Structure 1
Amino acid sequence: MNRNYDAVVIGGSLGGIMAAYALSKEGIKTLLVEQYHWIGGQLTSQGVPSDEHNYIEFTGATKTYRKFREDIRSYYRNHPDIIDELKTKEIFNPGNGWVSKNSSDPRVSLKFLEELLNPFIESGILTLMTDTKLIGAEASEDTVYNVLLKNDTEEFIVEAKYFLDATDTGELLPLTNTAYVTGAESFDETNEPHAAKEKDPYDMQPITWTAAVGYDENNTIVMEKPALYDYFKSYIMPFNESILSWYAAGLDQGSKREFSMFAEGPYENTPDMFKYRQVIEKNHFKRGVNASVMLINWPQNDYILGNIFDDENALYHQYKAKQLTLSLVYWLYSEARRDDGKGFGYKEIFLVPEVLGTKDGLAMAPYIRESRRIKALYTIKEQDINKRYAKKAPDFRDSVGIGHYHIDLHMTTKTKTYFFDETYPFQIPLGALIPLKTKNLIASCKNIGTTHVTNGCYRLHPVEWNIGESAGYLVAYCLKNNVTPKEVYENDTLLKDYQNLLEASGILLKWPESVLGEFEEWAHI
């Protein structure tokens, strides 16, 4: 017998969690399905601390995201072994990483994400299935009827009125005849200043397979040389340095930057990469913590040699991505130039499997930058948000949230293109969540209607969180009012009613004028 729900969320990403949260909160019988053992996607199973904008401490995120951030800090404040200085400090960085203002152990994030959903699971309105994979679906040209799921013991069919794709790679799209785009669009297609001359669906941003790496001066763990170490050691990047080096791509095409482990001695003006994504700070604890730990998601372990979806060699590329990360860690351990002038290799480092819930110290899943992206009712383009080309910040009538981050295009897998550019604080338009044809599927993660270029700023943690939460409320609104997502998008009365629900739920639809004013001043310089 088939199982039935009002809504099925495929993917326990941050977007998937928040879609399930919003649906459950609105009383919609929901199933949340996650392929891996941990929910949380990029923040947990993928091992990437939260990337956030400069206003995050007071605005620019949903109420639930801000509470989640505070729950993380509260956990550390009340930790029995935390140093006295942090017990009463309102704003601090638990892991002391510099790319995130609130970096923390992924196990702590997992704890609070699970607690967010637990009341709904206990009430029976929400069912969570982890270690469960999507393997098929039944759909017509415009309607999804059911999905086929598989776990360790069985395969089964699940029917629903709505399906929300919250996977990091848009796994539901090809199975449901939902039109989508991958890789780089052409200038003729998008008219974007940074678009490619010719489209290439296989020229994607790289994945990164992160690992947890500890540092302890008393370390005695001996690292073994990875199988592909020599291959990667001899691989020369477009800027004429080995991929296993202290150099990585700069901010502009053809340039390079130098890094170091701790920015000490003659390298004090280079980025300190151990603290870049550090999630455990030993000095924040009085006892019980013997090593600081970072999650290694550096430019040097961006995997630029192939893609892991819509590619016949996907499994091999996953293996090589893991080998690249293990090779980078081994290079740091055995051959990397030391900042302190004491030769080469940091014998103090070691893999820390327990931080990521795995046996090998690698993340459960690869970090995905670029997904399959729906062909949407509205596609967000570079000229909507790039400060160089837009005269002001976007003001979408159908805004369902806000975000901010620079366009950060990592070196791509085919043309090896990369660039970095500034954006206005932006909005998330509802039209980007709704496919052109498929009536009962909603994009709820980084698979919304962005381009190869704009994906580079809409993929971040608080934005994905907002996308999923708004998607969940959209489906709940449609079910309760017997309307379709497209009708909500096109009808001003329905749209305003739905937006009122979002605002009542703590979702900001516009940036404060005080923030926008800073950027308007910049635009006139």
Structure 2
Amino acid sequence: MSSTIPPSITEPARRTPLIDEVDVLVLGGGPAGLAAAVGAARGGVRTLLVERYGFLGGMGTAAGVTNFCGLHANVHGVLRQVVQGAGAELLERIDALGGLNTPHLLFGGRMAAQAYDTAAYKVAADELLAASGARVLLHAWVADVLMREDGGIDVVMVETKSGRAAIRARQFIDCTGDGDVAALAGVPYEKGTDGQAMMYPSTMMRIGGVDPVRAGEAWRHVVERMRAAEARGERFARQGPILRPQKNPAEWRANVTQLARPDGGPVDGTDAWQLSAAESEGRRQAAQFMGFLRRDMPGFEHAYLLDLPPQLGIRETRRIVGDYVLTEDDVLACASFEDTVGVNGWPVEEHMAGRVEFRWPHGTQDAAGRAASRGYNHLPWRMLLPQGIDNLLVAGRCAGMTHGGQSAARVSGGCFVMGQAAGTGAALAIHRGIPPRRLPTRDLQDELRRAGAWLGLDDDTLPPPI
């Protein structure tokens, strides 16, 4: 009878160099990790950010997303930028480099998003991190954790071009997106709705050589032209494409691919074999879509595939079980929490087999078609606190959320909010010599306000309309 346990190799014992000891170690340099490092460093503690790539930005750069979602909310019918603080500072720096579009309206003006150039994002992220006083170690991949006898994390082991190394910290912040540190530390987590039914990933693509005059508002016509192509026998992996211009009007971006396993289920972003197969399939789908654009879309006759990013875009893998788990009902009911650290204004955006489904907060429109909802839910501090461990915080798409809750709050706006709260809270906890979960919420909120964050409480002044 064959064993289901794969064969293994026993490695010889070795001594691993301890290359740094800091107060706060942030793992992952996406929106959550960047904001966490900035928040911690400005809180006056020694902060190191570790990132697997040679640049920061997470899915926004490594996966070529090129579009900020969740920065804005439709607050009683008025679109406002509700993500402030570190996220707003990053936008200012991208804009100063000439790489930020003005917000564009979606869903008939119901929501807004904001496109950017990835090169400008990378430079702006470097600048913001350096200005905060945080240090960064790039090209370093989380490999393992070593635990203390009291159940806390002692060191994180990383693999680098210089070899395996250890970094010790007093507080750790997992912003890896996949919850790598939390999983290695034994934190309970969930995946999808049943351990497998996660959201489907995508390969993003940038398109050059577009004639912007002939293309016009191509995003309004691409769906009907795709349907006409399907009637002729062409097949697309996903309906509901996103096709939009970048800062340079001759350059466009497309979000239209969908990556599945051979059985039709979503690719698991924590499975190396599935990722490997999905990368090449995503490039195939991108090339197919370019053929459709050149053939069927006016203004794209001489367009070309300008860029495919270093990796496919992962939307969901592990989600830790926190002291609170944000639910889809919380998003749809615009839930309030006394321990809010900021807000999420993005609707539920679930990437299902072959399509994308949006679900909006209850009361977004009244009987006369006017916006009646406040348009955002609070993000509670407790969702960043993993159960069973005191010196770890988790921020970003791997924080404490259900599948439905994460389908909304996983976008970059919510990640900026969670990250800044995690870094700020970690610094405060260190100064006071207490675990983060014992930190008085009001003190954390006061510190976040001083850093420019908007918490969405009744006595907070609304940001101006966009």
Q: TM-score range by the shorter chain?
A: 0.7 to 0.9
Percent identical pairs in the alignment equals 21
Quick one: distance in 2 between partners of 1:165 and 1:243?
A: 46
| Aligned-pair CA distance for 1:214 | 1.4
Quick one: distance in 1 between partners of 2:50 and 2:233?
A: 36
Quick one: distance in 1 between partners of 2:352 and 2:83?
A: 28
How is 1:426-445 mapped onto 2 (pairs within 5 angstroms)?
426-445=377-396
| Aligned-pair CA distance for 1:513 | 8.3
Q: Which residue of 1 aligns with 2:209?
A: 215
Q: Which residue of 1 aligns with 2:135?
A: 127
Q: Which residue of 2 aligns with 1:408?
A: 349
Matching residue's letter, 2:186 = N
**CA displacement, residues 105-132 of structure 1 (integer Å, 9 cap, x when unaligned):** 11111111111011345xxxx3211111
Q: Which residue of 2 aligns with 1:177?
A: 186
Number of residue equivalences = 402
Q: Which residue of 2 aligns with 1:161?
A: 170
**SS in structure 2 at match of 1:419:** strand
CA contact (8 A) 2:61 2:118 kept: yes
Which of these residues, 83, 89, 92, is aligned with residue 70 of structure 1? Answer: 92
Quick one: distance in 2 between partners of 1:74 and 1:478?
A: 34
Matching residue's letter, 1:73 = D
**SS in structure 1 at match of 2:146:** strand
Quick one: distance in 2 between partners of 1:340 and 1:495?
A: 53
Q: Which residue of 2 aligns with 1:348?
A: 302
Verify: 1:510 aligned to 2:456, yes or no.
yes
**CA displacement, residues 396-431 of structure 1 (integer Å, 9 cap, x when unaligned):** 01111112111011015xxx7963210241111011
| Aligned-pair CA distance for 1:10 | 0.6
Q: Which residue of 1 aligns with 2:37?
A: 20
Q: Which residue of 2 aligns with 1:483?
A: 434
**CA displacement, residues 433-478 of structure 1 (integer Å, 9 cap, x when unaligned):** 0011111110021111100111011011111011000000010010
Which of these residues, 255, 258, 274, is aligned with residue 243 of structure 2? Answer: 274
Quick one: distance in 2 between partners of 1:207 and 1:242?
A: 27
Which of these residues, 94, 117, 120, is aligned with residue 108 of structure 1? Answer: 120
Verify: 1:35 aligned to 2:52, yes or no.
yes
Q: Which residue of 2 aligns with 1:50?
A: 68
The runs of 5 or more residues in structure 1 that have no matched partner are: 80-91, 185-199, 218-239, 250-256, 260-272, 283-291, 353-360, 489-493, 517-525
Matching residue's letter, 1:328 = Q
CA contact (8 A) 1:94 1:279 kept: no
Quick one: distance in 2 between partners of 1:43 and 1:114?
A: 14
CA contact (8 A) 1:206 1:307 kept: yes
Q: Which residue of 1 aligns with 2:147?
A: 139
After TM superposition, the score normalised by the length of structure 1 is 0.70
CA contact (8 A) 1:244 1:328 kept: no
| Aligned-pair CA distance for 1:332 | 3.1
Structure number with higher strand proportion: 2
The runs of 5 or more residues in structure 2 that have no matched partner are: 1-16, 212-229, 362-374
Q: Which residue of 2 aligns with 1:363?
A: 309
**SS in structure 2 at match of 1:301:** coil
How is 1:243-322 mapped onto 2 (pairs within 5 angstroms)?
245=235, 248-249=238-239, 273-275=242-244, 278-282=245-249, 292-298=250-256, 300-303=257-260, 305-310=265-270, 314-322=271-279
Which of these residues, 363, 385, 401, is aligned with residue 331 of structure 2? Answer: 385
After TM superposition, the score normalised by the length of structure 2 is 0.78
Q: 1:63 to 1:241 in 2, by over 3 A?
A: farther
Matching residue's letter, 2:61 = T
| Aligned-pair CA distance for 1:201 | 0.4
Quick one: distance in 2 between partners of 1:40 and 1:32?
A: 12
CA contact (8 A) 2:327 2:405 kept: yes
| Aligned-pair CA distance for 1:11 | 0.5
How is 1:447-458 mapped onto 2 (pairs within 5 angstroms)?
447-458=398-409
Q: 1:61 to 1:241 in 2, by over 3 A?
A: farther
